[in-house]
Amino acid sequence: MIRKVAIASALVAIFSIPAFAATEYWVAKDAATKKCEVVTKKPDGTKLTDAGNKTYTSKADAEKALKELAACK
């Protein structure tokens, strides 16, 4: 009985982890080309710089900010 509960708990944990792994988006400006893009990793500050100084929870929000940021025009 304990084994079944442990297995069931492990399965629930394994399948729910991706739901809790929140994806964050940044608007980054390429240092060489001076073009902005939406990235899923925090800009390192050398090749890519953070153009918006903010994280976005959805790609749509980040793309909207990309169009509105003065640094990306």
Strands 36-39 and 26-30: antiparallel
Residue 15 pLDDT class (50, 70, 90 cuts): confident
Q: 58 lies in which domain range? A: 25-72
Count the domains in the chain: 1
Task: Please determine, for residue 67, whether its predicted confidence score (pLDDT) is greater than 90.
Answer: yes
Q: Is residue 18 part of a domain?
A: no
% of the chain at pLDDT higher than 90: 38
Q: Is residue 41 part of a domain?
A: yes
- Looking only at Cα atoms, what is the longest distance across the chain? 63
Q: What is the mean pLDDT of the chain?
A: 85
d(CA 67, CA 35): 12
The two three-digit tokens of residue 11, written as one number: 């399965």
Task: Please determine, for residue 32, whether its predicted confidence score (pLDDT) is greater than 60.
Answer: yes
Integer angstrom CA distances of residue 45 from 22, 29, 66, 73: 23, 9, 18, 19
Q: Is residue 46 part of a domain?
A: yes
Predicted pLDDT at 19? 59
What φ, ψ does residue 4 adopt, rounded to 5°?
Answer: -65, -40
Model confidence, pTM: 0.66
Q: Is residue 37 part of a domain?
A: yes
